Amino acid sequence: MRNCLRCEKEMVEDLDIKVEGAAYGLKVTEQGILKGNLGKVKCAVCPDCGYMEPYIEDPSKIKNNTK
C-alpha cells in the first residue's frame, strides 16, 4: 500500500504508463545500446489530489545490477 506524499490518502497502485498515441509502455534499461531490461514502470495515482508516483514493478532486478 502506498500513501500519497501530498495528502496522505491511499493511492491506487499497479497502473500502467503508456506513451500517448501508442500502445507501448515504459521500461527501465541499463545504460547503452541493447542493454538488459531492468523492469517495467508502473504507477500509483492518488484518487483525491491526482498526484502520480512512478515505480519499478520488480525492484530486485535493480538491486542485482548495482555495482
Whether 3 shows a pLDDT value over 90: the answer reads yes
pLDDT band at 66 (very low <50, low <70, confident <90, very high): low
| SS3 letters across 9-31 | CECEEEEECECCCCCCECEEECC
DSSP-assigned beta bridge partners for residue 40: 27
Q: Using alpha carbons, select from 1, 35, 64, 23 the residue that is nearest to residue 44.
A: 1
CA atoms within 13 A on the CB side of 3: 4
Write down how long the chain is: 67
What are 11-65's pLDDT values in tens digits? Answer: 999 998 888 777 677 778 888 777 778 888 899 999 999 999 999 888 887 777 6
